[in-house]
Structure formats: structure tokens, C-alpha cells
């Protein structure tokens, strides 16, 4: 007799791409605001120190730091090129030094040509002769600040790309593990089911025929799930109960089954064929060896943030050796749930009345 009480997949790569795209406008605004503030402050300083009109100083400052912005673009691409080379730290430092000299020199030469075009010949005597050491130090300091920001931003971008790739690799590894385990599990339980059919052919042809009909329904459900990486718990319960109906045809009145899964857990994602090896072991160790009637109870519930699925069966516990066996059905269950949800656990214990309890506990993924 059966009684039943009446997911979401997160694409990390899409989230990472969306987060990166969302940062770009804010980054552009931050760059522009910083540049505008620097231009105004430097224009005010030049106007005050040299006692020239603020409008003239502002125009010169806009040209000067527009050229610095161009140098920053060169530093951005140059740093990417340097980081992409298989160079030693000393070679990269030398390349950065050469790049800095070229960009600062080009920036200052272009600005000097602008001043000459505006004020005429004699720019060195009027502008640079008395203050060139201070001007040079200030320009080197400004360029170094811009370069440091560029290096930090590119390092952060590389770190985020690396993290995203690691997440993608972890997902691919989990998917490969689940597929490999599914390939190992499918013949495992299909052959056992066929053995149950063969056991009835001679003694109960009618029962064998009923079991074959149940098997056909069961196999249709199995084939629907073969390519699935994960399924709702409700679908996994439906598959497991279909398997148990086949076993009920074999054991007749000797096997009673109850299933209790709250509505709130019906959509929890689990690997397909997660519970079938557990109930198969329950039948093998708790039902088949005895002439008396037995039972299997499947339930699910919350344990804080964790989901706990339990399969109980009458009969003594079959021991931790069954769980640890590399080729056993419970080992498959444990590896499958761990592949989908790292940190998941499968445990075997004795219940209050001496029955066997297998618990699968995991954080929904």
C-alpha cells in the first residue's frame, strides 16, 4: 500500500558577466568625476601660484590632463601586453619603466607644443626653467597614481575572470561526475530489476506479467531521466515508488510502503536515481531474507538549512560496510549527492525500534 503526502539552477557565469557589465558604467563615471575634480583643482592651484586668470589655467589644465588620459589609455594597453608575456618579474619591471618614460615624455612633449602654439616661442623660459624639477616630480607622481589604479583594476579583473573560470570548471567536473555515476548506476539497478522479474516467472506467471507491465512503466520514467543532471525531489520520489511497485509485485503482501514528503520540499533539486539504490539495499537486507512481512518508509524534512531524506526499513541495520563498499548502491548514492551538493552526507544507523535508517542530508544547491 502506498500513501503519499502531497529548483532553481543558478548560472554562475551569467551572473559574473552581468556583474561585470553592471560595473562598467559606474567605473566610467568614477573615472570622469575623478578626472574633472583633478582638472579643476590643478587649474585653481596654477592660477593661484602663477597669478594667471582661472579661465586660462582651466583651459591649459583640461588639455594637460586630457593628454594624461591618453597616456592612461596607453598604460592600460601596455600593462595588458606586458602581463600577457611569459616574462620574469625583472623583465616586466624593466618593460614598465620603459613604458613609463615613453608615455610621460610623449605627454609632456605634446603639452609643451600646445603651450608654444598658444603663447609663442620661449615656452621653456616662461614656463619650465624655474620649476621643471617640481613639474617633473608632479607629473611622475600623477602618472604613477594613474598607473597604480590601472594595475589594480586589471588585477581585480583577472582575479574575477579566474574565479569565474574556476566556478565553471567545478560545475563541469560535477556534471562529468554525475554523468559517469549515472552510467555506472543504470545497468546496476536495471539488472537487479530484471532479476526480480525472473524470480516470478516459474512460480507466479501472472505476477511476472504484472511485474513486466510495471517494469515497462518504470523504464519509460528511467529513460526520461537518463540525460537529466538533476530533478525535483517529487520526480525522484515518483521514480522510486515506481520501482517499489515492481518489488511489491514480487513480495505481494510481505512489503508495505509509505512515502511522506512535505509540499515545501517537492521542488528541491536532487540527482536522478538518488534513492533507488537505498531502497534496493533496504529490500535486499531488510525484506528479502525474512519470511515475515516488512515495510519501507520514505520521508523528507528540514534540519535547519539542510534537507534530510530518510529511508527506513524493518529488519536489522546492514552495517557501515555496505555504505563504504566502493561498488555498493549506497556508495553510488553518496557520490552522486556529494557531486551535486558538496558537503552532503549519507549515514546508516539503527532506529528506535531496531529498524535500519539511511539518511541523506544536504544543503540544497
Specify whether 261 is located in the same domain as 352: yes
pLDDT value at residue 4:
39
316 lies in some domain:
yes
Burial 283-306 (b: 16+ CB within 10 A, else e): bbbbbbeeeeebbbbbbbeeeeee
Contact 313, 356 (CB under 8 A): yes
Residues whose CB falls within 8 Å of the CB of residue 75, separated by 6 or more in sequence, listed in order:
99, 100, 103, 143, 146, 147, 150
Specify whether 89 is located in the same domain as 17: yes
| Most confident stretch, 44-53, 87-96, 185-194, 253-262 | 253-262
74 lies in some domain:
yes
Report the CATH number at residue 298: 3.30.565.10
Q: What percent of the chain has pLDDT over 70?
A: 78
Average pLDDT of span 125-151: 79
278 lies in some domain:
yes
pLDDT value at residue 2:
42
What is the span of the domain harbouring residue 49? 12-130
**CA nearest neighbour of 42 among 110, 127, 139, 116:** 139
Cα separation, 106 vs 113, whole angstroms:
11
Specify whether 178 is located in the same domain as 108: no
Summarize pLDDT for 247-297 with one digit per residue, the tens: 887 777 889 999 999 999 999 998 887 888 888 888 888 888 888 889 999
Mean pLDDT, the chain, rounded, equals 77
Q: What percent of the chain has pLDDT over 90?
A: 12
Kind and range of the H or E run holding 52: none
Specify whether 183 is located in the same domain as 254: yes
Summarize pLDDT for 150-203 with one digit per residue, the tens: 888 888 888 888 787 777 656 555 555 555 545 554 565 567 667 767 777 777
Structural domains in the chain (count): 2
Specify whether 70 is located in the same domain as 184: no
Pairing status of strand 306-313 against strand 294-303: antiparallel
The dihedral formed by the CA atoms of 259, 260, 263 and 266, expressed in degrees to the nearest 10:
-50
Pairing status of strand 231-232 against strand 294-303: unpaired
Between residues 31 and 103, which one has the greater pLDDT?
103
Burial 11-29 (b: 16+ CB within 10 A, else e): eeeeebeeeeeeeeeeeee
pLDDT value at residue 232:
92
The overall pTM is greater than 0.85: no
Beta bridge pairs of residue 299 = 260, 310
| Boundary residue ending a domain (111, 130, 149) | 130
| Boundary residue ending a domain (102, 130, 158) | 130
Specify whether 244 is located in the same domain as 309: yes
146 lies in some domain:
no
User: What pLDDT band is residue 14 in, cutting at 50, 70 and 90?
Assistant: very low
Specify whether 198 is located in the same domain as 281: yes
Contacts from 97-104 at CB under 8 Å and sequence distance 24+?
A: 99/74, 99/75, 100/75, 100/143, 100/144, 100/147, 103/71, 103/74, 103/75, 103/78, 103/143, 104/71, 104/139, 104/140, 104/143
78 lies in some domain:
yes
Question: Which cell numbers hold the place of 179?
Answer: 554523468
143 lies in some domain:
no
DSSP string, 340-361: HSTT-EEEEEE-TTS-EEEEEE
82 lies in some domain:
yes
Specify whether 179 is located in the same domain as 106: no
Specify whether 191 is located in the same domain as 327: yes
Cα separation, 362 vs 354, whole angstroms:
25
Residues whose CB falls within 8 Å of the CB of residue 76, separated by 6 or more in sequence, listed in order:
150, 154
| Boundary residue ending a domain (115, 130, 145) | 130
Specify whether 188 is located in the same domain as 126: no
Summarize pLDDT for 294-341 with one digit per residue, the tens: 999 999 999 888 999 999 998 766 554 454 444 456 777 887 787 777
Summarize pLDDT for 145-163 with one digit per residue, the tens: 888 888 888 888 888 887 8
Out of 17-31, 137-151, 267-281, which region has the weakest mean confidence (pLDDT)?
A: 17-31
163 lies in some domain:
no
Specify whether 120 is located in the same domain as 182: no
Specify whether 112 is located in the same domain as 247: no
Summarize pLDDT for 220-246 with one digit per residue, the tens: 777 776 667 788 999 999 888 888 887
Amino acid at each position: 500500500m502506498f500513501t503519499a503526502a502531497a529548483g532553481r539552477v543558478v548560472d554562475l557565469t551569467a551572473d559574473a558577466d552581468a556583474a561585470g557589465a553592471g560595473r562598467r558604467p559606474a567605473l566610467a563615471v568614477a573615472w570622469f568625476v575623478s578626472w574633472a575634480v583633478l582638472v579643476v583643482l590643478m587649474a585653481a592651484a596654477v592660477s593661484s601660484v602663477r597669478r594667471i586668470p582661472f579661465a586660462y589655467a582651466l583651459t591649459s589644465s583640461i588639455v594637460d590632463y586630457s593628454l594624461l588620459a591618453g597616456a592612461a589609455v596607453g598604460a592600460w594597453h601596455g600593462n595588458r601586453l606586458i602581463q600577457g608575456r611569459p616574462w620574469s618579474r625583472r623583465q616586466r619591471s624593466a618593460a614598465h619603466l620603459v613604458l613609463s618614460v615613453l608615455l610621460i615624455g610623449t605627454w609632456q612633449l605634446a603639452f609643451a607644443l600646445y603651450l608654444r602654439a598658444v603663447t609663442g616661442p620661449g615656452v621653456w623660459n616662461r614656463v619650465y626653467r624655474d620649476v621643471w624639477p617640481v613639474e617633473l616630480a608632479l607629473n611622475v607622481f600623477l602618472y604613477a597614481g594613474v598607473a597604480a589604479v590601472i594595475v589594480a583594476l586589471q588585477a581585480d579583473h583577472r582575479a574575477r575572470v579566474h574565479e569565474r573560470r574556476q566556478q565553471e570548471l567545478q560545475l563541469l567536473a560535477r556534471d562529468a561526475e554525475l554523468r559517469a555515476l549515472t552510467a555506472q548506476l543504470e545497468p546496476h539497478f536495471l539488472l537487479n530489476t530484471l532479476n526480480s522479474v525472473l524470480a516470478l516467472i516459474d512460480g507466479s506467471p501472472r505476477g511476472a506479467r504484472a511485474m513486466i507491465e510495471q517494469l515497462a512503466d518504470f523504464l519509460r520514467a528511467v529513460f526520461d531521466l537518463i540525460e537529466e543532471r538533476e530533478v525535483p525531489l517529487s520526480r525522484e520520489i515518483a521514480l522510486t515508488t515506481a520501482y517499489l511497485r515492481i518489488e511489491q509485485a514480487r513480495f505481494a503482501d510481505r512489503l508495505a510502503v509509505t512515502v511522506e514528503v512535505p509540499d515545501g520540499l517537492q521542488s528541491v533539486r536532487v540527482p536522478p536515481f538518488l534513492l533507488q539504490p537505498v531502497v534496493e539495499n533496504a529490500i535486499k537486507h531488510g525484506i528479502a531474507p525474512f519470511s515475515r512481512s516488512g515495510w519501507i518508509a520514505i520521508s523528507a524534512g528540514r534540519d535547519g538549512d539542510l534537507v534530510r531524506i530518510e529511508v527506513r526499513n524493518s529488519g536489522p541495520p546492514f552495517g557501515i560496510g555496505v555504505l563504504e563498499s566502493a561498488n555498493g548502491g549506497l556508495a553510488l548514492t553518496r557520490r552522486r549527492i556529494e557531486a551535486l551538493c558538496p558537503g552532503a552526507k549519507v549515514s546508516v544507523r539503527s532506529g528506535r525500534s531496531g529498524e535500519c535508517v539511511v539518511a541523506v542530508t544536504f544543503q540544497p544547491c
